[in-house]
């Protein structure tokens, strides 16, 4: 009886595994049908359902990465390829996964997409996400060729990515040189403007200095003039006042002279009269 139970349980497990495998394969096939119809978002949903049913099988992750790639969801595509790569056992499938990952980066670089995956890959030091996309694509193609050196598609895409990166680097170098020249011109212009400002400032300071000197000299001269005026006033106050002079005309002077002459004549006349008068003298006998 116990043996029959064990056989029955084994039969149930085998049927469950077969049903699970059939469910996984059916879901993947449904996803493939939608993928060929270019209904990439719905196909991706089917692949993700299959991955939940059989998480150790790489096919669902690989196909989900392809669907995300076709939808330009680069970040999701790379995540799915990475999960597939961790589960792949054969070299051919691994090479295809690396090749598709390289194409994902290459597609993003060609479109110049500002994708979070490129930002993460570039890090804080990368200044050009498009350039970083080509770099990552080159690395993926090199890894794919390392797994399968006969993969001509990977070799061609590697050459293409290298050429695009080289052209982009030259373009970036030219832009940097142009920016450097523009910056030099800008610096020269600023230096020239600064020199002119300094010259104007020096002229202004010299003029202000000269104006101050002129002002100081004028103040000193004014002070000296004031001192001289004060001294002259003091000297004038200390000197005795001169007698008031009478102003007389020539006629007045002649009149005064004639009057003096008359007075002199009268005086001489009186003297002569006094000398010729007889004098009575009384004699004593």
* Rounded Cα distance, 104 and 111, in Å: 11
Q: What are phi and psi of 92, to 5 degrees?
A: -65, -45
The reported pLDDT for the residue numbered 10 is 31
Q: Is the pLDDT of residue 124 over 80?
A: no
* Rounded Cα distance, 100 and 86, in Å: 15
Whether residues 75 and 160 share a domain: the answer is no
Q: Which domain holds residue 123?
A: 90-192
Domain assignment present for 273: no
* Domain containing residue 59: CATH number: 1.25.40.10
Answer with the one of 192, 218, 241 that is the final residue of a domain.
192
Question: What's the rounded mean pLDDT across residues 121-149?
Answer: 81
Domain assignment present for 155: yes
Whether residues 56 and 116 share a domain: the answer is no
Q: Is the pLDDT of residue 88 over 50?
A: yes
Sorted by sequence, the CB contacts under 8 Å of residue 72 that are 6+ apart come out as: 107, 111, 113
Question: In 37-90, which residue ranges form alpha helices assigned H by DSSP?
Answer: 40-53, 58-70, 74-87
Whether residues 104 and 188 share a domain: the answer is yes
Q: Is the pLDDT of residue 160 over 60?
A: yes
Domain assignment present for 284: no
> Is residue 45 within 8 Å of residue 68, measured between CB atoms?
no
Answer with the one of 81, 109, 128 that is the final residue of a domain.
81
- Number of domain units in the chain: 2
Max avg pLDDT among 21-30, 41-50, 112-121, 218-227: 41-50
Whether residues 67 and 111 share a domain: the answer is no
Q: Tokens representing 62?
A: 């690989």
Q: Does the pTM exceed 0.85?
A: no
The reported pLDDT for the residue numbered 281 is 40
* Rounded Cα distance, 145 and 54, in Å: 29
> Is residue 86 within 8 Å of residue 112, measured between CB atoms?
no
* Rounded Cα distance, 129 and 109, in Å: 8
The reported pLDDT for the residue numbered 15 is 36
Phi-psi region of 242 (alpha: psi -120 to 50; beta: other; left: phi over 0): beta
Whether residues 68 and 162 share a domain: the answer is no
Whether residues 76 and 99 share a domain: the answer is no
Domain assignment present for 276: no
Whose tokens are 């290298």? That residue is 162
The reported pLDDT for the residue numbered 75 is 84
For the chain, the straight-line distance linking the first and the last C-alpha, in angstroms and rounded, comes to 236
Whether residues 120 and 161 share a domain: the answer is yes
| Most distant pair of Cα atoms in the chain: their distance | 236
Q: Is the pLDDT of residue 269 over 80?
A: no
Domain assignment present for 163: yes
Domain assignment present for 74: yes
Q: Is the pLDDT of residue 174 over 80?
A: yes
Q: Is the pLDDT of residue 122 over 70?
A: no
Whether residues 97 and 72 share a domain: the answer is no
Answer with the one of 192, 227, 259 that is the final residue of a domain.
192
Q: Is the pLDDT of residue 143 over 50?
A: yes
Q: Reduced to 3 DSSP states, what percent helix, strand and coil does the chain have, rounded to the nearest 5?
A: 85, 0, 15
Mean pLDDT computed over every residue of the chain: 78
Crossing angle for the helix pair 58-70 and 74-87, nearest 10 degrees?
160
The reported pLDDT for the residue numbered 226 is 80
How many residues belong to the chain? 285
Question: What's the rounded mean pLDDT across residues 5-14?
Answer: 31
> Is residue 2 within 8 Å of residue 14, measured between CB atoms?
no
Least confident of 34-48, 70-84, 103-117, 247-261: 247-261
The reported pLDDT for the residue numbered 123 is 58
Domain assignment present for 201: no
Q: Which helix (H) or strand (E) holds 236?
A: helix 152-238
Domain assignment present for 234: no
Q: Which residue has the higher pLDDT, 145 or 233?
A: 145
């Amino acid at each position: 009886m116990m043996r029959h139970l064990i056989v029955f349980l084994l039969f149930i497990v085998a049927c469950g595994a077969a049903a699970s495998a059939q469910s996984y394969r059916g879901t993947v096939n449904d996803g493939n049908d939608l993928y060929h119809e270019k209904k990439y978002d719905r196909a991706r949903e089917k692949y993700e359902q299959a991955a939940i049913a059989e998480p150790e099988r790489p096919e669902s992750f690989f196909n989900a990465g392809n669907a995300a790639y076709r939808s330009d969801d680069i970040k999701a595509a790379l995540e799915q390829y990475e999960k597939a790569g961790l589960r792949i056992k054969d070299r051919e499938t691994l090479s295809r996964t690396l090749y598709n990952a390289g194409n994902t980066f290459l597609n993003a670089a060609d479109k110049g997409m500002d994708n979070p995956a490129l930002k993460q890959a570039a890090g804080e030091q990368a200044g050009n996400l498009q350039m970083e996309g080509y770099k990552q694509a080159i690395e993926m193609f090199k890894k794919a060729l390392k797994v399968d050196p006969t993969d001509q598609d990977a070799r061609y895409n590697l050459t293409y990515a290298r050429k695009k990166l080289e052209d982009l680097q030259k373009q970036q170098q030219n832009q940097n040189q142009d920016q450097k020249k523009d910056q030099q011109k800008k610096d020269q212009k600023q230096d020239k403007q600064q020199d002119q400002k300094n010259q104007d400032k020096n002229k202004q300071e010299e003029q202000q200095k000269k104006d101050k000197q002129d002002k100081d000299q004028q103040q000193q001269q004014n002070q000296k003039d004031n001192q001289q005026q004060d001294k002259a006033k003091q000297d004038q106050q200390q000197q005795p006042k001169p007698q008031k002079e009478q102003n007389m005309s020539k006629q007045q002077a002649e009149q005064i002279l004639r009057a003096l002459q008359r007075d002199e004549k009268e005086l001489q006349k009186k003297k002569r009269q006094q000398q010729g008068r007889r004098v009575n003298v009384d004699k004593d006998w």
